[in-house]
Amino acid sequence: MKSNVLGYPRIGEKRELKKANEAYWEGKISQEDLVAEANKIRIHNWKLQQEAGVELISSNDFSYYDQMLDFSFTVNAIPERFASVSKLSALERYFAMARGYQKDGIDVTAMEMTKWFDTNYHYIVPEFTKNQQFKLAHNKPLEEYQLAKANGVETKPVLIGILTYLLLGKEKEAGFSRLDLAERLLPVYIEIIESLVKAGAKTIQIDEPYLVLDLPERAASIYRTTYEAIAAKFPNTEFILTTYFGGLGDNLNLTLSLPLQVLHIDLVRAPQQLDLVLELLPPHKKLSLGLVDGRNVWKNDLEASVALIDKAEAKIGMDRIYVGTSCSLLHSPCNLELENNEKVLTLEIKQWLAFAKQKVKEVQLLTVLAFDNPNAEEAASYEENKRAAAARRTSTLIHDKAVKERVKNIAEGDDQRKSPFSKRKLAQHAALGLPLFPTTTIGSFPQTTEVRSWRARFKKGDLTQAEYDELLEQEIEESIRFQESTDIDVLVHGEFERNDMVEYFGELLKGYTFTKFGWVQSYGSRCVKPPIIFGDISRRAAMTVRWSKYAQSLTNRPVKGMLTGPVTILQWSFVRDDQPRSETCLQIALAIRDEVVDLERAGIKVIQIDEPAIREGLPLRKAEWAAYFDWAIKAFRIAASGVEDKTQIHTHMCYSEFNDMIEAIAAMDADVITIECSRSQMELLDVFGEFKYPNEIGPGVYDIHSPRVPSEEEMTALMEKAIKVIPKEQLWVNPDCGLKTRHWEETKAALHAMVATAKKLRAKYGK
């Protein structure tokens, strides 16, 4: 039995890579400095795994920016527009693809970036053309293998599988399918493997996570021909066909038929697949059990894992089993040992957690425990693990009877407003008296350096609560005056008190904890530090009422209360693994519901519940979408339904594909939805028109991701397009998203133009 770690975080324990990358981009350090820092991280990671006794340690899991981009670079899948930077060094060209390049008269845009399966990691999308050629341009897999070897560590190189690589890419022109490129890519792929084998690699990990998705037509047969060719060429190399993030489902037979010796399956995401896989595994194949969760922060339940290993052993025997992480540890924070501030993370909760470094040890420990021969230290670790698991199961910190009861007692009608929208609409229009094409914004106003410095000073103790609050009140007052003078109809307070739309609520809710160094890579040098939901969630006290009420006291216009929705709060946190996510989501929903009711009671007539992450929570397989919608939509509705008809509930989403989930969006039954639209030139609205979206809708007319100020004419043109597909009585005028990353200057100019646009439309279309 071998221990198998699928990949290790590369950002460095204290985000060294982020810092080095950014320093290099700013010209503050040289290329040599950056490479030296990168090597330090790589070697540190390998040694750490070697010392823990891991047998299958990954190489080529490092990346300066992204592993998919690395592979594009390796096989020379470089879009033509980057010919303009061909004179630059390899590293410069690589970063140009990741980030674009605008210097010395060269202006080339970055490659597109999108979410890696259902994680919060973003990869650089490969771009393919009909005449796409590949060649081995830059053998990074070999270089990394050799670097490890030179440092005394034998590794298992990781390669992205050909099919997953192609399928996650994009055709940049018509007339071909990217699947057709497999044949052309194969010889280059074989060349890479050949070089690795020559250099001494015995085992190679081939990542084919696409096998857990619904496969497009023809993919199955191309999977077969591709891997038959590879296996035939290297009969003495051990390939681990690696799948993760889900079960193989209807691709299981295909997967088992591919002639690679070892199959890795994710038993954290899809434990139910073990029985069938054991049943069908051909006699000559080995199985790598993905038992240690690469995507969450909880200690492994070693006892439960050992039981699964035993089960596998009984069926296929110990020498056909590997034990590993469920997926790469890329998605875990680095090292729990750094968390030594008990004010941030208490010892009681810390003992339930394991980050990447600790997970590596768990993998190794599992191989020992499976053989029933732990040494004294290992036996002690096992006991410790069991103790922690038992403590967690019964901890009063986690379990709040009242919260559990309340979820259990959610009644039939709790996810329904009192009346249908047609009736609510009349009550709201009477209460708010808004004009045709009402204007509003999405919530946040610029988070200036000044505003952020107040928060930093307050956290450090340099500002008292009273001083901090007063500064915030001044900022709110200024923003209200600005909105009034701009003649916006539904105002916002500006969200100046919030660091982040999830963390802010996390800090106020019971059941959440935080870390100091729990960073994970989101994309390139960007890292996030998701808060951790460890226990039953409830509200200690009102969270936002103070600010909304204050803002409302300053004006006769309606001020919109701003909340983050339950699904988004769930999605952007590390979530407890001891109960279904749906259960945790309902708990959050009830807490938000209470806040909504309190806002209404405080005189707030319009309340927005943001759900920008509702789409990214979608299961990987279409067949599971309905079950997800069932609880996710319900959670939103529970949060939104505690109020009177006359209170107007808004929601906001900022992603670009509504087509396949428009019915679910309608089922949320928000009175008004604001969405990102301007960059797609309102194309997104077609589906709202076709479907006859019943409630009100504000298609964004101002792209807030750009410092550009759109003109009145542009915004008018966008609205005219919207009017063509959606009845004018249903339309609002607003930006794409919150304005917190913008400067005041451009914000003011853009919002002036936006209001002018609405006024012109009223003059033209009003009776």
Which residues from 200-229 bind ligand GLN, rule CB under 6 A?
none
Are 153 and 50 contacting, i.e. CB atoms less than 8 angstroms apart? yes
Cβ closer to Zn ion: 452 or 705?
705
Choice from 153, 204, 356, 442 touching ligand GLN (CB under 6 A): 442
The structure tokens listed for 419 are 């009346």
Q: How far apart, in Å, do the first and last CA atoms of the chain sit?
A: 78
Calpha distance 103→123 (Å, rounded): 24
615 binds ligand GLN (CB under 6 A): no
Cβ closer to ligand GLN: 468 or 655?
655
**Beta strand 672-675 with 559-564: parallel, antiparallel or unpaired?**
unpaired
The structure tokens listed for 363 are 């993998």
Q: Is 15 annotated as a binding residue?
A: yes
Least CB distance from residue 567 to ligand GLN, whole Å? 13
Partner from Zn ion, ligand GLN, none contacting 287, C-beta within 5 to 8 A by type: none
Tokens 């191989």 sit at which residue?
A: 367
With CB under 6 A, what is the number of residues at the site for ligand GLN?
13
Q: Is 18 annotated as a binding residue?
A: yes
Tokens 């810390």 sit at which residue?
A: 350
492 binds Zn ion (CB under 5 A): no
Calpha distance 290→267 (Å, rounded): 5
Q: CB under 6 A: which stretch of 222-230, 439-447, 627-635, 725-733 binds ligand GLN?
A: 439-447
501 binds ligand GLN (CB under 6 A): yes
Q: Is 442 annotated as a binding residue?
A: yes
Q: Residue 250: in which H helix or E strand, if any?
A: none
Q: CB under 6 A: which stretch of 5-13, 64-72, 526-534, 736-744 binds ligand GLN?
A: 736-744
Q: Residue 767: in which H helix or E strand, if any?
A: none
Are 190 and 213 contacting, i.e. CB atoms less than 8 angstroms apart? no
612 binds ligand GLN (CB under 6 A): yes
443 binds ligand GLN (CB under 6 A): yes
Q: How many whole angstroms from its chain centre is CA 99?
A: 20
The active-site residue, picked from 650, 705, 743, 752, is 705
Q: Is 495 annotated as a binding residue?
A: yes
Are 330 and 61 contacting, i.e. CB atoms less than 8 angstroms apart? yes
701 binds Zn ion (CB under 5 A): no
Query: How long a stretch of residues is the chain?
Result: 767
Residue facing ligand GLN at closest CB distance: 738
Cβ closer to Zn ion: 364 or 651?
651
Partner from ligand GLN, Zn ion, none contacting 444, C-beta within 5 to 8 A by type: ligand GLN
589 binds Zn ion (CB under 5 A): no
Least CB distance from residue 648 to ligand GLN, whole Å? 16
Cβ closer to ligand GLN: 356 or 451?
451
609 binds Zn ion (CB under 5 A): no
675 binds Zn ion (CB under 5 A): no
Least CB distance from residue 573 to ligand GLN, whole Å? 15
Q: Is 713 annotated as a binding residue?
A: no
Q: Is 334 annotated as a binding residue?
A: no
| Known catalytic membership, residue 705 | yes
**Beta strand 286-292 with 321-325: parallel, antiparallel or unpaired?**
parallel
Least CB distance from residue 695 to Zn ion, whole Å? 18
The structure tokens listed for 366 are 């599992």
Q: Residue 483: in which H helix or E strand, if any?
A: helix 465-486
737 binds Zn ion (CB under 5 A): yes
Q: How many whole angstroms from its chain centre is CA 273?
A: 25
Contacts of 235 (CB under 8 A, 6+ apart): none
Sign of CA dihedral 194, 199, 202, 204: negative
Helices (H), 265-399: 274-280, 302-316, 347-350, 356-370, 376-394
617 binds ligand GLN (CB under 6 A): no
Calpha distance 705→404 (Å, rounded): 41
Tokens 């610029």 sit at which residue?
A: 446
Q: Is 616 annotated as a binding residue?
A: yes
Q: How open is the CA angle 506-509-513, to the nearest 5 degrees?
A: 55
Cβ closer to Zn ion: 70 or 736?
736
Tokens 């994970």 sit at which residue?
A: 520
654 binds Zn ion (CB under 5 A): yes
Which residues from 519-578 bind ligand GLN, rule CB under 6 A?
562
Calpha distance 343→542 (Å, rounded): 23
Calpha distance 444→576 (Å, rounded): 29
Cβ closer to Zn ion: 124 or 737?
737
Q: Which residues are catalytic, by number?
A: 705
Tell me the binding residues for 5-methyltetrahydropteroyltri-L-glutamate: 15-18, 115, 120, 526-527, 572, 616
Tell me the binding residues: 15-18, 115, 120, 442-444, 495, 526-527, 572, 610, 616, 652, 654, 676, 737
Q: Enumerate binding residues for ligand GLN (CB under 6 A).
A: 442-444, 495, 501, 562, 610, 612, 652, 654, 737-738, 740
Q: Enumerate binding residues for Zn ion (CB under 5 A).
A: 612, 654, 737
Tell me the binding residues for L-methionine: 442-444, 495, 610
